[in-house]
């Protein structure tokens, strides 16, 4: 498996170990990790720190040119918020661990010129399936349901 | 002028006084302010704290039902990230101070069922025009240019 997706899964597992929602994300520019993070709704009492947002915040204030040659990794299909953030910064490619347990606005994101690669990772699917079965109310909160 | 838009403008002016980008936001549920905030890219070294994000984070973890009867106020047309966040939480209405100096994906947001009210406030336009003229590089960073 792609080393960066592996790192995103490690982030997801960190989140789970902290009592959080197991979704992880990594931002890569020119083959280098510039940021990594995981969902911290529970840990920080946050309404906005989905994994991708936590990752981009950890990366700090990059230049437009950095974002425009970056690849964003996420263990799960990015929601409307995280997809919108990738669009704001014109991140050209997103690698998605899986989109079976949740699917964001992938068609719209593609229509805006972003390349999406769906890995369909059994490990990512399993992480989410177990979590959703155990904490459905927390998962619903995370996706605004 | 609507008292909540006034409060959002006060937030924008707070941000300006702190050396930041003058955009403010307020979240109202059932006529009550549940959160307010302003852009804190400069103040927090943040890549994600646009005014609307800062406001939603200040509001904390609300229920889906709260968001679904909320009105989000912003002094400026919400960008892809902030629009996406409103879509995630199914916020049904956004009141926008102005969309002359910047326009987010308003057509798409409307197509997803969100009501947008554009106030076209001279005060909001003036705040942004002055700021963009003085700090074009910071403004471009904020919108991923």
CA distance B65 to chain A (A): 8
Give A89-131 pLDDT, tens digit per residue.
999 999 999 999 999 999 999 999 999 999 999 999 999 999 9
Question: Who contacts B58 (Cβ-Cβ below 8 Å, separation ≥6)?
Answer: B35, B36, B37
Break chain A into its structural domains and give their ranges. 3-143
Residues found in chain A: 145
Give A50-95 pLDDT, tens digit per residue.
999 999 999 999 999 999 999 999 999 999 999 999 999 999 999 9
pLDDT at B145: 94
ipTM field: 0.97
Half-sphere exposure of A69 (CA within 13 A, CB side): 7
Q: Which of A53, A89, A145 sits opposite B144 (nearest CB)?
A: A89
Q: Which of A48, A88, A145 sits opposite B144 (nearest CB)?
A: A88
Q: List the single residue in B with minimal CA-CA distance to A68.
A: B144
Cβ-based interface (< 8 Å): residues of A facing B: 41, 45-48, 53, 56-57, 59-64, 67, 79-85, 87-90, 105, 108, 140-141, 143-145
pLDDT at A1: 75
Give A2-25 pLDDT, tens digit per residue.
999 999 999 999 999 999 999 999
Q: List the single residue in B with minimal CA-CA distance to A54.
A: B48
> Residue B89 and residue A35: Cα distance in Å, rounded?
26
> Residue B29 and residue B22: Cα distance in Å, rounded?
24
pLDDT at B1: 75
Check: pTM over 0.80? Answer yes or no.
Answer: yes
The residue from A3, A52, A57, A106 that is catalytic is A52
- Helices B51-59 and B80-88 pack at an angle, to 10 degrees, of 30
Q: Which of B60, B63, B80 sits opposite A88 (nearest CB)?
A: B80
> Residue B94 and residue A73: Cα distance in Å, rounded?
30
pLDDT digits (tens), chain B, 145 positions: 799 999 999 999 999 999 999 999 999 999 999 999 999 999 999 999 999 999 999 999 999 999 999 999 999 999 999 999 999 999 999 999 999 999 999 999 999 999 999 999 999 999 999 999 999 999 999 999 9
CATH topology of domain A3-143: Cytidine Deaminase; domain 2 (3.40.140)
- Closest of A35, A47, A38 to residue A19, by C-alpha: A38
CA distance A6 to chain B (A): 24
């Amino acid at each position: 498996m792609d080393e960066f997706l592996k790192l995103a899964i490690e982030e997801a597992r960190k989140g789970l170990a902290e009592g959080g929602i197991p979704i992880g994300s990594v931002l890569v520019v020119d083959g280098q990790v510039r940021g990594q993070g995981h969902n911290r709704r529970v840990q920080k009492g946050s309404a906005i720190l989905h994994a991708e947002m936590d990752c981009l915040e950890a990366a700090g204030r990059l230049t437009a040119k950095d974002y425009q040659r970056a690849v964003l990794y996420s263990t799960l299909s990015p929601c409307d918020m995280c997809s919108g953030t990738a669009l704001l910064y014109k991140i050209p490619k997103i690698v998605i661990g899986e989109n079976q347990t949740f699917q964001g606005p992938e068609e719209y994101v593609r229509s805006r010129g972003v390349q999406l690669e769906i890995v369909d990772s059994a490990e990512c699917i399993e992480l989410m399936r177990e979590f959703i079965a155990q904490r459905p109310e927390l998962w619903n909160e995370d996706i605004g349901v």
